[in-house]
Amino acid sequence: MASKIQDALSSAAALAKGMGVTLKEMMSPTITEDYPDVPPKFQERYRGVHVLQRDENGLEKCVACFLCSANCPSDCIYIEAAENTDSLRISGGERYARIYNIDYSRCIFCGYCVEACPTDAITHGHGFEIASYDTSTLIWRKEQLLAPASPRETQTAINPPPGVRSPV
Amino acid sequence: MADSVNLTIDGKAVQAAPGTLVIDAAKKVGIEIPAFCYWEGLTLQAACRMCLVEVERMPKLMTACTLTVAEGMVVRTETPLVAEARKSMLEFVLTNHPLDCPVCDKGGECELQDMTFRYGAGEGRFDEMKVHVDEKQWSPVVYFDAPRCILCYRCVRICDEGMGVDALGVIYRGVVSEIAPNKEDHLQCDECGMCIDICPVGALTSGMYRYRTRPWEMEHTGTICAHCSNGCKTTLGTRNGQIIRGNNRDKSGINGEFLCIKGRYAFDFNSHPERLQSPLMRIGGKLEPVSWSRAIGEVARRFTEIRERGGRFGVVGSNRTSNEENYYLQKFARQGLGTNNIDHRRTGDVPALIDALAGRTGVLATVKDVYTAKASLVIGSDLAQQHPLLAYQLRANWRHHQSHTYTVTRGPVREDKYSVHGVRVEPGAELGALESLRDQLKAEPELVILFGDAIKGEAVRRLVEFGDSLGIPVKYICLVDYSNSRGAVDMGLLPHLGPGYQGVENPGMSLPEMLAAEDLDAFWVVGANPLEHNKLAADRAFVVVHDLFLTETAERADVVFPAASAYEKNGTVTNVCGEVQHLRSAVQTMGVKTDLEILGLLSKEMRINLGMWTPESVLREIRQTVRGYNVALPVIAAGGAAQSLPLNGRVTLDSRPELIQSAGDTLFTSGTLGRYSKTLLSVLEYPGVLYGEAAEPEADRR
């Protein structure tokens, strides 16, 4: 008989303990994010889809030095370089990346490319929605990676002010 | 003076010949003393001060690049003092050097980068503004970025001493000193790019390679230049199936450090937009692209039909295709088509030389002999224009060994600047002019005679008689034009001679006779352009052409096969001195086949058994059957040059030496192929002239 009372009491205690946790969590702020209804939040240092940055004149920072691709452990960056001319100035330096592809079917988001970049051109953004049913779409081109240029910046990119030279 | 000097470098006992520089003696025992300005074979500069070493009983650090070895000398290269000196020197060098390695074409293979990494300070103490000068373009192929220059004078010396062009100099003084070209703001020179190759930093960069890629992104293939007959090794850097640059990366070829504009830059014909990439067949009077099987089938059908009714074939081989292809072509013509009507554009009278020297050994000079011989005689050739490597060797021989050079030419040549005696003659009078040199030549210990197309036929025999009469050892080089002109003769692309100079029964028609024969039924041109200046008399002949481009000959063809270039195939070629070297395929172009494969497919379609058509199996057959071609395979396979020695019997000579005519290409032209190199066409000096040299004698100036 005594054991039955004991069982009931311990069950009640366990129930109270469980409900206690529930009640406590009800009071604390939520951790679960409402993705995709609400955009997710990231730590500042999160390594997402790369962004090719522009300088203060709207010119591309990348000078196609190939160091990112040399440093890449999964060999996923492909670059072709070309020379800036007076009529077509793309980057601040003498040369720019005519083609800049990152193969996201290979990229392991290790951040070595960002560390290697001497001009801080390539950075990790917070983008992560790159899943695809078609692997061929996982090769991202420069146009997809570039930071957007404001209309005013686009204008400067085409007609840079005189004397603009590479910061390097 | 003793034969050798004993010294100690870093505790290692070293024996070196008297006069050896400490930097070279150290290299012998595997100790590297860093240096920018020192370059083996050039005069000493001691400008960079990187090679400072500690020497016992010397009050100060010494420059190892100017210090000669002495008995009992004790040298230390790795002391704290030396390390400190190197670090300080690099700090000085980097004072004005911009930090633009990411955009510099030299980045990744830069000597300054390497040295800074190994010996340099992580940071400099100078925070003054760096002197900036804008980059200049001196020619289509040479860019100069002054701030990057560390003033080692290598370019100035290689241009002046090595090339004899003297197009670079130094202007201003002190921190604003600058290398300057000879025409104020641009260069007028050989455009050889030696200054770019030798530059330890990215001050001089190539216009063709400019910003195309980075050194570690390329694959490198060492092959033989497709242009002149000197057979320089050029290392082709390729990326994505495209040749991006040519240089001599490992300096392992017979040319050592040397390359001219053609070897370094004129690979661009390979990716010319007019390259043929599909077989063409004349359908309704127009050349239309067709499939390979259709083109091969059509040619096989027509050739078989012509052969069966006993029609006349004319076959023209190439000066640029490999030995294997030439051998297979002549075998195809002689055994498959049953004709001796086979010829090529003859550019030098090699058979006459082989005949005149029959039975002797050690009388055919190699490229190296031109550098080591005590005396040389150049007859009828503007060597610096037509045979740049031989000219470079000859010049280096004079610089290093004070060798004597004699020239007998119809106009001024660059060799005159240092020759002992230069004789100007009317064309055709070269042989007679030799008599005036007889006494001088007799006094020489040995001689190498280089002769061009001015000496041919009977004159070759008389030249050899003249050589014999001197009473000294004489070696000969018969100068020919293109990359495998010598191989074409050796492989029997001649109507009267088979492979290895074996005479044939019933000699066939020569090239001019084929062109003039009105009853020719088939005209087959493999990699040549005989219709550039001539007409084919036989209007109804079935014309088959293998070529890279739609040349004048290809335009007349009924079937055109798109052929692979020399940079797209494996095989061997033979240079002007008879040295056999390996061609290695660097790239592939879509839609083309090598001439060997085309010949093989044709023979298969025609059911003629000529053996396997891989370069390896044909080379095996050549080594077994062609006189003098039993060359050492390991030497060739390892990228070396093995001389073929076909001197063991009399040769049936053609009685018409007038068929032999050099095309007279300059440094900037290269037959039909040269027309498709945009670089050659773009330089200011194009098309260049022979015998146009005009300068004061250099021997006096020094």
Within 18-47 of A, beta carbons closer than 8 Å to B belong to: none
Q: How far apart are CA B211 and CA B205, in angstroms?
A: 10
* ipTM of the complex as predicted: 0.84
What pLDDT does residue A151 have?
A: 55
Q: What is the pLDDT of residue B646?
A: 77
3-state secondary structure (DSSP) of residue B698: helix
Distance (Å) from the alpha carbon of A145 to chain B's nearest alpha carbon: 21
Residues B471 and B521 in one domain: no
Q: Are residues A110 and A73 in the same domain?
A: yes
- Say yes or no: B378 and B413 in one domain: yes
Euclidean distance between CA atoms B579 and B574, whole angstroms: 5
Domain that holds residue B17: 5-93
CATH number at residue B171: 3.30.70.20
Regarding whether B621 and B581 lie in a shared domain, the answer is yes
d(CA A61, CA A64): 9
Closest by CA position to B337, among listed B521, B529, B612, B540:
B521
Residues B180 and B214 in one domain: yes
Query: In this structure, are B240 and B167 located in the same domain?
Result: yes
pLDDT of residue B694: 64
Verify whether the Cβ–Cβ distance A93 to B100 is below 8 Å.
Answer: yes
Residue B105 belongs to some domain of the structure: no
B495 and B379 in a common domain: no
Rg of chain B on CA atoms, in Å? 27
Task: Give domain status of residue A41, yes or no.
Answer: no
* B191: in domain: yes
C-beta atoms of B100 and A81 within 8 A? no
Nearest CA-CA partner of A96 in A50, A147, A52, A139: A52
One domain, residues B517 and B637: yes
Q: For residue B156, which of B203, B117, B88, B213 has the smallest C-alpha distance?
A: B203
CA distance B529 to B618: 25
Query: With an 8 Å Cβ cutoff, is B147 touching chain A?
Result: no
Q: B354 with B343, same domain?
A: no
SS3 B36: coil
Q: Closest by alpha carbon to B529, among B542, B543, B509, B508?
A: B543
Would residue B229 count as lying in a domain? yes
Other CB atoms within a 10 A radius of the CB of residue B49 amount to: 18
Phi, psi of A73 (to 5 degrees): -70, -20
pLDDT tens for A36-76 read 898 888 899 999 999 999 999 899 999 999 999 999 999 99
Within a domain: A165: no
The verdict on a CB contact (< 8 Å) between B213 and A119 is: no
CB B636 within 8 A of CB B581: yes
Calculate helix-pair angle for B595-605, B323-331, nearest 10 degrees.
Answer: 20
Could you tell me if B162 and B200 lie in one domain? yes
Q: Check the CA dihedral A58-A59-A60-A65 and report its sign.
A: negative
- What is the C-alpha to C-alpha distance for residues B377 and B354, in angstroms, rounded to an integer? 19
Please check whether residues A81 and A22 belong to one and the same domain. Answer: no
The number of domains in chain A is: 2
Q: Which candidate, B649, B686, B651, B655, places its Cα nearest to that of B669?
A: B686
Q: Which residue among A65, A69, A80 sits closest to B103, beta carbon to beta carbon? A: A65
CA B448 vs CA B27, B146, B379, B423, B487: distances in Å: 32, 43, 11, 17, 21
Residues in chain B with CB shorter than 8 Å from the CB of A67 are 102
Which positions ≥6 away from B141 have C-beta within 8 Å? B191, B193, B196, B206, B207, B208, B261, B265, B679, B683
B430 with B512, same domain: the answer is: no
Nearest-by-Cβ selection for A70 from B101, B210, B216:
B216
Q: Is residue B106 part of a domain?
A: no
Phi, psi for B646 (deg, rounded to 5)? -90, 30
For residues A77 and A150, membership in a common domain is answered with: yes
A56 and A97 fall within a common domain: yes
Asked if B102 is an interface residue toward chain A (Cβ–Cβ < 8 A), one would say yes
pLDDT of residue A154: 46
Q: B109 at the A interface (CB within 8 A)?
A: no
Tens of pLDDT, residues B465-481: 999 999 999 999 999 99
Per CB-CB distance under 8 Å, the chain A contacts of B135 are 94
Cβ within 8 Å of residue B181, ≥6 positions away: B138, B144, B167, B168, B187, B189
Domain assignment present for B58: yes
Q: Do residue B100 and residue A166 have CB atoms under 8 angstroms apart?
A: yes
Q: Residue A66, by phi and psi: left (phi above 0), alpha (psi -120 to 50) or beta? A: left
Which candidate from A81, A118, A119 shows the least CB-CB separation from B212?
A81
Distance from CA of B103 to the nearest CA of A (A): 6
Distance from CA of B241 to the nearest CA of A (A): 14
Does the distance separating the beta carbons of A69 and B102 come in below 8 Å? no
Distance from CA of A125 to the nearest CA of B (A): 23
**In CATH, what number is assigned to the domain containing residue A127?**
3.30.70.3270
Tens digit of each residue's pLDDT, chain A (168 residues): 678 999 999 999 999 999 999 999 889 988 888 888 988 888 999 999 999 999 998 999 999 999 999 999 999 999 999 999 889 999 988 899 999 999 999 999 999 999 999 999 999 999 999 999 998 899 999 999 999 876 555 444 444 444 444 333
Searching chain B, which residue's CA lies closest to the CA of residue A75? B217
Amino acid at B98: P
Question: A152: domain range?
Answer: 50-158
Distance CA B145, CA A107 (A): 37
End residue of a domain, out of B47, B66, B93: B93
DSSP-derived secondary structure letter, B436: G
Q: Does A94 touch chain B (CB under 8 A)?
A: yes
Residues in chain B within 8 Å Cβ distance of A69? 217
**B488 located within any domain:** yes
The CATH code of the domain that includes B381 is 3.40.228.10
CATH number at residue B76: 3.10.20.740
A100 domain-assigned: yes
CA-based nearest residue to B668, from B136, B141, B185, B137: B141
Residues 6+ apart with CB under 8 A from B661: B346, B347, B453
pLDDT for B81-131, tens place per residue? 999 999 999 998 998 899 899 999 999 999 999 999 999 877 788 888 888
Same domain, A77 and A143: yes
Please indicate, yes or no, whether residues B56 and B184 belong to a single structural domain of this protein. no
Give the chain B residue nearest A116 (alpha carbons): B102
Report yes or no: B242 at the A interface, CB cutoff 8 Å: no
**What is the 8-class DSSP label of residue B475?**
E
Q: Compute the distance between CA of residue B59 and CA of residue B494 in angstroms, rounded to an integer.
A: 71
Shared domain for A8 and A73, answered yes or no, is: no
Q: Is the domain of A6 the same as that of A55?
A: no
Identify whether residues A70 and A152 lie together within a single domain.
yes
A85 and A6 within one domain: no
Output the pTM of the full model. 0.91
A40 inside domain:
no
The verdict on residue A44 lying in a domain is no
Q: How many Å apart are CA B517 and CA B534, to the nearest integer?
A: 13
Q: Does one domain contain both B495 and B598?
A: yes
Q: Return the DSSP state at B215.
A: G
Query: Has residue A111 been placed in a domain?
Result: yes
Residue of A nearest to B101 (CA): A65
Main-chain phi, psi angles of B236, to 5 degrees: -90, 125
Same domain, A55 and A25: no
Out of B103, B135, B212, whose CB is closest to A168?
Answer: B103
The greatest distance separating any two alpha carbons of chain A, rounded to the nearest whole angstrom, comes to 98
User: For residue A83, which residues of chain B lie inside 8 Å, CB to CB?
Assistant: 210-211
Domain boundary among B93, B127, B158: B93
Closest-CA distance of chain B to residue A29, Å: 49
Residues A94 and A152 in one domain: yes
Residue B101 lies in a domain: no
Query: Touching check for B134 and chain A: CB below 8 Å?
Result: no
A62 touching B, CB under 8 A?
no
The partner residue sitting opposite A166, judged by closest CB among B103, B210, B213, is: B103
Considering only the beta carbons, identify the residue of B100, B101, B211 that sits closest to A81.
B211
Backbone φ and ψ of B519, nearest 5°: -100, 20
Sort out which chain A residues have CB atoms less than 8 A from B214's CB and list them.
65-66, 70
**CA gap A89, B41 in Å, rounded:** 44
What are the respective helix, strand and coil percentages of chain B, to the nearest 5? 30, 20, 50
Whether B393 contacts B387, CB under 8 Å:
no
The last residue of one of the domains, among B421, B456, B478, is: B478
Minimal CA separation from A132 to chain B, in Å: 27
Q: What's the gap in Å between the CA of A94 and the closest CA on chain B?
A: 7
Residue B102 domain-assigned? no
Number of domain units in chain B: 5
Residue A74 falls inside a structural domain = yes
Buried/exposed code over B127-140 (b: 16+ C-beta within 10 A; e: otherwise): eeeeeeeeeeebbb
Buried b (16+ CB within 10 A) or exposed e, B165-189: bbbbeeeeeeeeebbbbeeeeebeb
Kindly state the DSSP code that residue B170 receives in the 8-state scheme.
E
- Tokens 């992560």 map to which residue? A128
Q: Which helix or strand (DSSP H or E) is residue B524 part of?
A: strand B522-526
> How far apart, in whole angstroms, are the C-alpha atoms of residue A168 and residue B398?
46
Residues in B closer than 8 angstroms to A82, CB to CB, are: 211
* Low-confidence spans in chain B with pLDDT less than 70: 1-2, 647-648, 694-702
pLDDT of residue B522: 97
Q: Is A72 in the same domain as A140?
A: yes
